[in-house]
Amino acid sequence: MNREQLFNIAHHWFEQQGWKPFSFQVQAWTAFLQGKNGLLNAPTGSGKTYALWFPVVLDYIKSNPDYKTKHKPGLKAVWITPLRALSVEIKQAAERVANDLGTGLTVGIRTGDTSSADRSRMRNKMPDLLVTTPESMQLMLASKGYKDIFKTCTAIIVDEWHELLGTKRGVQVELALSRLKVVAPKLRIWGISATIGNLQQAMEVLLGPTPGKPENAEMIKAHIDKKINVISVIPEKMEAYPWRGHMGLHLIDEVAAIIKKSRTTLIFTNVRSQCEVWYQALLDKYPEFAGEMAMHHGSIAKETRQWVEQAIRDEQLKAVVCTSSLDLGVDFAPVETVIQIGGPKGVARFLQRAGRSGHRPGQQSNIYFLATHAIELAEASALRKAVKDTVVEDRVPYLNAWDVLVQYLVTLAVSDGFNPDEIYKEVKSTFCYQAMSIDDWQFCINFITRGSQSLQAYDEFKKVEAGEDGRLKVNSKAVAQRHRMQIGTIVGDVMMNVKFLGGGYIGNVEEGFISKLNPGDIFIFAGRKLELYRIKNMEVLVRRAEPDAKAQHASWLGGRLTLSAQMSELLREELYTANTDTMSAEMQALAPVFLRQRKESIVPGDHEFLIETFKTREGYHALFYPFEGRFVHEALASLMAYRISLLSPISFSLAYNDYGFELLSDREIDMQQVLDNNLFTPVHLHHDLQSSLNATEMARRKFRDIAVIAGLVFTGYPGKMIKAKHLQSSSQLIFEVFRDYEPDNLLFQQAYRETFEHQLEEGRLIMALERIQRQEIVWKQCEKPTPLSFPIITDRLREKLSSESLADRIKRMTANYMK
């Protein structure tokens, strides 16, 4: 069959549905059938699944003209999705095409939810099309005979690649692809990505770096212009606006009004606890929403989430309070309005959320922005500018992630074993490991075969062993089983299942939260008031509590988000307008706050760098306002604390938010000396940062993930879990052992490098310091906290840095005695 005939089949199918294929879909079919690899840049809900499932099926028809009568067995294509919740939707789309065209192709799902019975059935008879996750993909590489399964595969499609890029799961995908390219000679690789700043690089990471312009790769863009309206929710009276806080409940009436005038509204919150609180607050104040409102976040039972998703589609719900759990995936046509509570921190995420509304052709997307504290209002107008100019951030891919490589090598050793020379070439061909040296590689091999340094006499290290043929293999069944259990790169707090006494799974919460509760305590979770009955085998048994009982909300630590570089810049520009007469509506609304701020301090303009100092009961506060986003402030705070601590012995507690940072101490900082010594200089930055890192806990925390991924810490068997506290303390201990005995270990150094590259963003830091150098420093000695300082000094998540001896510090401290 030639391409025209194949396309006729496709066009005919679209006609039957009453649709017309988009040009990007046809472009994708063409490129795929030409045997090209590529990246499709298309937003969620644009028909991207048909852009790539179709050519997979057409390609099968092409090479099997008698496809209607004779089924050719074997895996044809793999679709990788970052969220297993999306897999059903993707399977259905594939099945629709496969069945309607009468191909007899089967579609299967293999994720962490797949039962072991189903998995072994799959091993015997693979479906033709497989939907899976990066972790399950690795698990397949860890099973014997994987080469036979994949050798017939013609395509790997990586969905939502922008979500994976910039994470270690993305590195997992890179490694799996490097192997499958060799195993399956006819393989094409396609990625699907929403708009990000570095699309070209995203393609390079997916396909592997090639010198010059890759001829066989194509970037296809779906030009779907949709108008997005950003509307700030500004209250009548600004005086009532809280200076800090992250809930935003003071605007509940405004939110209810928006819900009432729209068909379906999605209310996005940034963290799960905020989601719970909003859901409850809306129900309490507007009981009429009961039955028409639901909640959706990652800790709620899968069945409940699926029910909510279906109810949105069926237009049964007026409002859904959710988290990033509804960022991705499926279309929700009835959604007319989106409300964002609190700063979304990034433009890409904001656009994605805005795009959840107005799916009908010709409709606009409406997104309301609700600032949770006063200064956050400035983010609203910054966001509007970002949306107008489509300023989108980059996702920075990982480089030299040795922990993921070590895990991958053990994975290969667990299945069929591997030939190091062969795999070296493949690994080296990936984006992540393109700069890997022979020594680096040898380290990784040593690490898995000899446990790094080996002490010949007493050592009993055992993991991967070399066979007579030189292949590296895991021989121990126990090692293999432990490794399979551990595959993955997401390290989180241990989650505990919450169940009713009489049975019925509700969802899961972090162990850290539950461990603070006693039996009989009431907490709110998944919108219900629950009484803790007891904890047994990693299960939290609860029963329904009285509706009027006093309860606390379940909390999740979760990752705190930070402003991207692009957002920070827009925000700075926005704040700098405070001293001009070209203020946006949001900035004008902030007038009362600025008035307060100016009482003792200033609202800095673009040529000013503001420092505030004041004393409270807690000690001496020094606040600095670079407006560079949380991560840069984290780095700047430890840098400044470190440099000041060199002047004289002192101990600091550090706090930061997206606007500035605080150094808190029990003695006064000599600020004049800080200014006289030009401590903001970019000179010796790298060295000073490195030293300050040693003095704080940042790298130590990064090491925790690395230790788990690299298999240094075993997280436990299912049902026989080691408690998270144990994992935490052991990775802490392991960090110390490495620091004391093997500081040149690449995995140990990776913790520092990652802190530099992914957390501290040294490049941004240098630019920030250079900018500060050009600004005039304005040091205000205040009587009491200012509105700008308030959200920072009340933050409880803090870093520590000290240049005093332990003994000196202990003398001024007291034990936390039981009252």
Q: Interface with another protein by CB under 8 A: which residues?
A: 447-448, 451-455, 457-463, 476, 478-479, 482-483, 618-620, 651-653, 664-667, 711-714, 726, 729-730, 732-734, 736-738, 740-742, 745, 798, 800, 806-807, 809-818
Min separation Cβ 410 and another protein, Å: 8
Nearer to another protein, 186 or 798 (CB): 798
Nearer to another protein, 296 or 483 (CB): 483
Min separation Cβ 75 and another protein, Å: 31
Nearer to another protein, 581 or 740 (CB): 740
Q: What are phi and psi of 525, to 5 degrees?
A: -150, 140
| Local structure of residue 34 (DSSP, 8 states) | T
Using the structure block, give the residue that is written with the tokens 């140990």.
Answer: 748
User: How far is the C-alpha of 155 from the C-alpha of 528, rounded, in Å?
Assistant: 45
How many other β-carbons are positioned within 10 Å of the β-carbon of residue 693? 23
User: How far is the C-alpha of 181 from the C-alpha of 171, rounded, in Å?
Assistant: 15
Min separation Cβ 264 and another protein, Å: 45
768: Cβ contacts below 8 Å, ≥ 6 apart: 626, 628, 632, 636
Is-contact 464 449, C-beta < 8 A?
Answer: yes
Q: Return the ∠ at Cα 300 (arms to 724 and 515), rounded to 5°.
A: 30
Min separation Cβ 455 and another protein, Å: 4
Min separation Cβ 368 and another protein, Å: 36
Min separation Cβ 801 and another protein, Å: 11
| Local structure of residue 324 (DSSP, 8 states) | G
412: Cβ contacts below 8 Å, ≥ 6 apart: 141, 142, 179, 418, 423, 472
Q: Are strands 37-41 and 217-221 parallel, antiparallel or unpaired?
A: parallel
Nearer to another protein, 1 or 647 (CB): 647
Q: Return the ∠ at Cα 231 (arms to 369 and 563), rounded to 5°.
A: 40
265 is written with which tokens?
């509204």
In the sheet that 155-158 helps form, which strands lie side by side, from edge to edge? 107-110, 129-132, 77-80, 155-158, 188-193, 37-41, 217-221
Nearer to another protein, 37 or 411 (CB): 411
Element (H, E) at 79: strand 77-80
Min separation Cβ 809 and another protein, Å: 6
User: How far is the C-alpha of 205 from the C-alpha of 220, rounded, in Å?
Assistant: 16
Nearer to another protein, 160 or 662 (CB): 662
Nearer to another protein, 307 or 714 (CB): 714
Residue type, 523: F
Min separation Cβ 452 and another protein, Å: 5
Give, in order, the Cα–Cα distances in Å from 718 to each of 106, 204, 632, 634, 721: 31, 37, 38, 36, 6
Nearer to another protein, 26 or 669 (CB): 669
Min separation Cβ 453 and another protein, Å: 6
Could you tell me if residue 527 is left (phi over 0), alpha (psi between -120 and 50 degrees) or otherwise beta? Answer: left
Nearer to another protein, 156 or 746 (CB): 746
Min separation Cβ 676 and another protein, Å: 23
Min separation Cβ 698 and another protein, Å: 17
User: How far is the C-alpha of 177 from the C-alpha of 181, rounded, in Å?
Assistant: 6
Nearer to another protein, 714 or 779 (CB): 714
Nearer to another protein, 585 or 813 (CB): 813
Q: How many CA atoms lie within 13 A of 610 on its CB side?
A: 26
736: Cβ contacts below 8 Å, ≥ 6 apart: none
How many other β-carbons are positioned within 10 Å of the β-carbon of residue 70? 9
